[in-house]
Amino acid sequence: MRVLVVDDNEVVRLILKRMIELLSLGEVVAAASVSEALTLLDGVDRIVLDLMMPGEDGTALLHHLQQTGHRAKVAVLTGAIDASDVAQRARTFKPDLYLNKPIELHELTDWLRLA
């Protein structure tokens, strides 16, 4: 399995990447932006995606996945899933999992292990 972590916060990105690596589920790559994530999509099976990022937000990547027919499963991370306009727009793309920050790691690890 190949997992892509997309988060503009370097600390969060590195913690998630390391935590997923410790699960020994396969290769983990990370991106700080949607544009960087687009260069890493080849072979990706799972995406852990922060919605609220400067510039293009996470819905831009969700839109790209939908338009290209990419089959990766997506877990969306957000700090305000019910209130945010971005979170509301994300719902139209039907991500596989929603996680509120701070996330419960067991929810993410359970989802990743379902591969």
pLDDT value at 81 more than 60: no
pLDDT at 86: 56
pLDDT at 31: 98
Task: With CA atoms as reference, report the closest residue to 84 among 50, 56, 51, 49.
Answer: 51
| Domain assignments of the chain as residue spans, ordered by start | 2-109
User: Could you give the 3-state DSSP secondary structure of residue 28?
Assistant: strand
pLDDT value at 62 more than 70: yes
pLDDT at 80: 61
**pTM recorded for the entire structure:** 0.90
Residue for token pair 């687009």 = 38
Band of residue 49 on the pLDDT scale cut at 50, 70, 90? very high
pLDDT at 85: 64
CATH topology of domain 2-109: Rossmann fold (3.40.50)
